[in-house]
Every structure is written in C-alpha cells, then in structure tokens.
Amino acid sequence: MNVRERSKTHIGIIHLQEELLSNISQNKILKVNNVSRGTKTINEILSLKRFLIILDDVDNTYQIETLLGQCDCFASGSRIIMTTRYKSLLVKRNGLSTYDSGVKELNEYEATELFRNHAFLDNKLYEDYLELEKKAIHYAKGLPLALKVMGADLCGKTLNEWKDALDYYEKNPHEEIQKVLKRSYEGLNKNEQNIFLDIACFFKGYDMNYDMIRDVLKACGLNPKYGIQKLIEKCLLTIGKDKYLLMHDLLQQMGMNIVRQEAPREPRERSRLWCFEEVLDLVTENMGSDKIRSIILWSPKPEPEEVQLKTQFCKIKNLKLLMIRNVHCCDGPLECLPNGLSLLDWREYPFSSWPSDFFPKKLVVLNMPFNRLEEPLKQICASLTYVDFSECKLIRKIPDLSTTPNITKLNLRWCRNLVEIDDSMGHLDKLKVLDLGGCHKLETLPSCLTMKSLTSFNLVLCNRLKKFPDILHEMKDLKSLHLGNCTNELPPSFGNLTGLKDLILTMSFRGQAHLPCSIYNLHIEMLELSGDFIFPKDVEIDRQPLCNSLGCFSKYVFPSLKQLCLNFFKIRSEIDFILNHCCSLTLEELYIFQSKIVTLPESMSKCERLHTLLIRYCNEFREILRLPQNIRQVEVVNCHSLDSQSFFQF
C-alpha cells in the first residue's frame, strides 16, 4: 500500500482502511463510515490471526495509527514491513520490535546486476556497451532508483543514443530520478530546505565538520541543530568519519538543480552561485545582487586562474558565505567585503590588510591559510569561533583577543615568523584546539593558562620558547600535549593538567630538563621523553616516600602508564629510575632508542601486561635479566654490547 500519496485527505485515509480490510477479512466489500471506526475494525481482525502487511512510503505517525492502531493487538507471529524516509518513525511502539534497515547503496556487483535487468531485454551485456555501462553505474553511485530508471530509459537504444543520454545525465539530472528524490525535499519546512540547499551547494565535500557547519548556519538565521537531524532522519544526509556531513551525489545534483530553477537564465537572481564561469561574470563586472547568499569562486583548472576583482563585494547585500580558492587576484587593494558574512574562506588572500570598513559582526568561520595579512585578527568580532591562519608568513604577533571570546579552534601552525602571543589568549574559556606546531621563532606564550575547555595543545618544533605558562586552575579536558624543544623547566603548576593522558616532551638540544613534583599527580597513559630529564625524587606520593633510606623505590609514579618511549637518554641513573619506578603493572609497550641503558632490570618481570619491547641503537646495553611471560614481541637492534651470553639470561 502506497501510504503517503493516498493519505493526504480524510477520504484517502478511509479508502486505505477499506483496501486493508478487504485484504485481511473475508468480506471483500467492507465499507468504513469514519476513520476511528475503521481503525477499530482493523484492530479486531488483526488480533485473530497472523498477517503480513506492507506499508510503503509512510511519513507520519497518524498514518500508522489510523491503519494499525497502537500496534498492541497483533496476533503472535504477525509481521509489518514499513518503508519510510523518517527514521524517527522506526521506534519501538508498545513492545513491537522494529528493524531499521535503511536503503543501502549497492556494491558494484549488485548495481551491475540491477542495471542489466532493466537495460537489456535479454539481460545480456554486449561488449560494445561495456564502457558505457560502467559510466552509467558510476553515475548512479549505487542508488537503486537511479539504476532502474536509467536502465529502463536506455533499454533498446543504440550505442550512440547511449552516449548522448549519458552525456546529458552528467549535466542535466534525469527528470524521473529527480521527481522521486524531490518528494523528500518537498516534505521539508523552509528552514530544513535552506539547510539542505546550503549543504548540497556549498558544504558537501568541503573541509568543515558538523560543528563548524552548524555554527555557520546558525549565524545565517537558520536552526541547524533541529534541521540537520531532520535531514538525517529523512536519509537526505549522513554523518561520516570525524563528523563530516555526507550526501549522495544525486541528492546533491537535485539540490543544485532546485537552485538553478530559481532563475534559469539569470544567475544573480539565484540564492547560491558555484559555477566558476557564472561567478566570474558577476565578480568581474561589478554587478550587485539582493538575492545571492553564498558564492564559491573556485577555478577547476590545475593552476590558479588570474582574476581581476573589480567588484565591490558589498554590492551583494545579503551575502553570508564566501569562498575563494585557486584564483590569483591581480588587482587590488580590495575595497570592500560584506559585513554580514558568516563564513569567509579565502586561501592565499593576497592583500596585506582588510578593507578599512570591514567589521563582520556575524563572522563565525575564518578559514584563510597562506594569507598575506600582517594583522589578521585586528578587526574580527565576538562571533568568531573557528580560525585557520596556518602557514601565514607575515604574522609576527597575535594581538589582544579579548574581543573574540568565543573562539573554539585556533590554527597557527607553521607561522614561521610568529614571535609573540598576547596574554589574552590564555584566558579564552571556550578555546578547545590550539595548534602552534612549527612556529620556529615563537618566544612568548601567555604567562598563564585558564582555558578550561582546551582539549588539544600542539607546540611541536617551537624551539625558542623561554617558558611554559603557569596553569592557574585545574584543566580536566586537555588530553594530549606535545612540547617540542621548548623549555628546560616546567612550572610547579603543571600538575593542574589533571586530564592529561598523552604527554610528549622533547629536550634533545637543551641540556638537562627538570620535571616538577606535580607531574606525579597526572594519570598519564602514554609518555614519550626525548633528551635528558631529571625526575624529582625527594617527594612523597600519597604520603609515602618515593625513595626509602636504602635508595629503593617504594611506589609507582605513573600507575596508569601503558606506553613508555625513551629517546637520547644519557644520564644512566635517570634511566634506572624510570625503568624501576615508571614501569607499572599496566605497562604494555616499552621503547628505548639511542640511550645509555645497560641492564633491563629484573623488576620488569612484574609488568604482566607488557607485550612489546623494542631497544635500538643502545651501544652500552648488555643484558636482559628477566621478562614477563606474556611478552609477544622483543626486538633488539644495533646494541653492540649485547652478546650471546646475554641471550641465555633472556
């Protein structure tokens, strides 16, 4: 029973009830006077014996309740098969178990078989059609509907007709396919339709995850949290790896076609522009528009295309989303940008400054790696949440960020001339990700950190840092910290990083580095040390001395440690301390490279979970006294002092 189309009116529901009754009762001409009486009669019959009922294209709860009631009176063994675009309808109803199978994309074998069933009368492929068949199947992307419709459309046609049809499909969506797919779109409200079109025309395949897209759409006046969930429920969207939004190619093509039909012959009367030639005409002819809300200027050519931007972008009055990539702007300076932008994505922005009157109060995402701005955050407003200024060679200082308190991600990776960061950065309460990796000249960080939301902090290859900031308050969310060649001493407050699980410290070129006593407060699971580190020993842990009067060790300092890696250790006593005191019962992997280790202590046999041991380029290493029974991999490479006698002890 096709439910959606036939249930749009009161009479249509009654006719559906009558059809169902005629199939499940002995009275084939049973009439229904009203909907409630029809539902009651259906329930009475369904309670008497087992049935198999198939309801196709259900799109609301009312349809289910008028045809099946509360689903609590079925005879044992009855089965109901229901197809719907709404996942929310597939929930347990009064003990009735449901199975959400979804419509999966067909694999290559299944797609080929389905296509041939409709494209060839004898289900036999002729060799001349093989390449064209592959092209058709690739176009369908595993969608059964597309395979059926195209197969039927191409059936009986000549080779040249196949070629012409497939060329046409790539530029013009097949009407029958689009007609069926468009039903789901037409069932959306205005908010959901706008979100769908933005994703289809702008965000699909774009390097932004769900959180970023949600914030941008919210700034555009939409309700993305509710709307995106509705699109997922209707199977118009899925969320893939790393929270990226995915959409079938044919659904995207449908969305783009809907936008084209807003003004087939006049691009600037449409809401969204993405075709390079159409956008180029707009931005080089200095034309205005009240309709356009998003623009992508992206050259499809391998090399950046030369573009003379004569337009004043502010003439596009309602522009919210602007992305410019793979074009080289040979005219400048830029006179104006719209202050209503929510997203600005302009890689290799060629100008040294912003337009003088650019104050984007609604700007949420600023994605501008490789730009040539000297003061990139000078005029940015409080709405900003995501900033990417990676590999910007002209940035020397990050200014006061107190006017941008909502930043959650700040990427300054490989800003090679960045020297100083203002203290205000250390007080960004909403900042989650801070990447300063590769900032070789960076000398000054904020004097203290109070970033309670910080989850990731990268300082790899920041070789000139003079001091690591004080941690004024407990920071529970920071899980990973990589400090590379950055300081000889960590502050006593380092132990306030109570959520830290992965810690990488590199001091290879700084002599000896002293670790604070507070480091023992951390429940580290992965610890990598490169260089000579001095561990604090005159300290108590949980009121037990770290060393007794005989110099023995009384307690493990990292009781949760699973992986330990030691590189370039020259101080033998510290190596002994680490191996005796850090290798707890939880240790699973131990790596020692280019260090002055002599003996692997007998205490290692207590590490019952240790399964991997790698020792490489340790020229003074002589013996392994004892290992746990569960060890699975032992690799000793280029340790020249280790002779055959040592292996007998192993």
| Nearest in space to 75 (alpha carbons), one of 97, 103, 47 | 47
pLDDT at 649: 45
H or E element, residue 163: helix 159-171
pLDDT at 547: 56
Q: Comparing C-alpha atoms, which of 68, 31, 28 is closest to residue 51?
A: 68
β partners of residue 345:
323, 367
Amino acid at 480: S
The pLDDT of residue 331: 65
Strand partners, 324: 297, 346
Q: What is the pLDDT of residues 68-111, one digit of tens each?
A: 877 777 888 888 888 776 666 766 555 555 555 555 678 888 88
Between residues 327 and 287, the one the model is more confident about: 327
Phi and psi, residue 566, nearest 5° = -120, 125
Whether the Cβ atoms of residue 591 and residue 548 lie closer than 8 Å to each other? no
Q: 298 is written with which tokens?
A: 């992206």
pLDDT, residue 98, reads 59
pLDDT tens digit string along 185-220?
888 899 999 999 999 999 987 778 888 999 999 999
Which of 120-134, 500-514, 544-558, 602-616 is predicted with the least confidence, judged by mean pLDDT? 544-558
Look at the alpha carbons of 277, 283, 285, 291 in this order and tell me if their dihedral is positive or negative: positive
Angle subtended at Cα 635 by Cα 629 and Cα 638, rounded to the nearest 5 degrees: 140
Distance (Å, whole) CA 470 – CA 447? 6
Distance CA 522, CA 499 (A): 7
Q: In terms of pLDDT, which residue wins out, 512 or 99?
A: 512
Long-range contacts from 467-471, C-beta under 8 angstroms, 24+ separation: 467/491, 468/494, 469/426, 469/445, 471/495, 471/496, 471/497
Measured between alpha carbons, how far is 214 from 126 in angstroms, rounded to an integer?
49
SS3 content of the chain, % helix, strand, coil (to 5): 30, 20, 50
Question: How many angstroms from the chain centroid is the CA of residue 132?
Answer: 35
The angle that helices 190-198 and 224-233 make with each other, rounded to 10 degrees, is 80
Collapse the DSSP code of 547 into the 3-class scheme (helix H, G, I; strand E, B; otherwise coil) and give the result.
strand
User: Which pLDDT score, from 0 to 100, does residue 140 have?
Assistant: 84
Q: What percent of the chain has pLDDT over 90?
A: 36
Query: Which of these ranges, 40-44, 542-546, 600-604, has the smallest mean pLDDT?
Result: 542-546
Which structure tokens are listed for 11?
A: 């009479």
Distance between CA 89 and CA 119 in Å, rounded? Answer: 35
Q: What is the spatial distance between Cα 267 and Cα 278, in angstroms, rounded to a whole number? A: 7
The backbone torsions φ and ψ at residue 377, rounded to the nearest 5 degrees and listed phi first, read: -105, 20
Tokens of 435: 């990447």
pLDDT in tens, 135-164: 888 888 888 878 888 888 888 888 999 998
What contacts 354, CB < 8 A, 6 or more positions away? 337, 373, 378, 379
pLDDT at position 545 over 60: no
Structure confidence by residue, pLDDT tens digits, 123-132: 666 788 888 9
Question: What does the pLDDT read at residue 286?
Answer: 67
Type of residue found at 142: G
Give the model's pLDDT for residue 383: 92
Amino acid symbol at 187 = G
Q: 307, 301 in Cβ contact below 8 A?
A: no
Contacts of residue 251, defined as CB under 8 A and 6 or more positions apart, other chains included, come to 181, 200, 236
Distance CA 408, CA 627 (A): 46
User: Tokens 């006077």 sit at which residue?
Assistant: 33
The residue behind tokens 């190619």 is 249
86-90, 246-250, 436-440: segment of lowest average pLDDT? 86-90
pLDDT, tens only, 164-179: 888 888 777 778 778 7
d(CA 513, CA 534): 6
pTM given for the model: 0.77
> DSSP 3-state assignment of 323?
strand
- Residue-wise pLDDT for 51-79, tens only, equals 888 888 787 888 888 888 777 778 888 88
Can you point out the beta strands (E) in 59-125?
79-84
Q: Indicate whether 554 pLDDT > 50.
A: no
Q: What percent of the chain has pLDDT over 70?
A: 89
Least Cα distance to 189 among 217, 231, 225 occurs for 231
Strands 397-398 and 420-421, bridge-based pairing: parallel
pLDDT of 315 strictly over 80:
no
φ and ψ at 6, to 5 degrees?
-90, -5
DSSP for 405-470, please give it: TT--EEE-TT-TT--EE-GGGGG-TT--EEE-TT-TT--B--SEE--TT--EEEETT-TT---PPE
Render the burial of 54-74: b for 16+ CB within 10 Å, e for the rest. ebebbbeeebbebbbbebebb
What single-letter DSSP state applies at residue 555? S
| Range of weakest confidence among 159-168, 421-430, 549-558, 593-602 | 549-558
pLDDT band at 552 (very low <50, low <70, confident <90, very high): very low
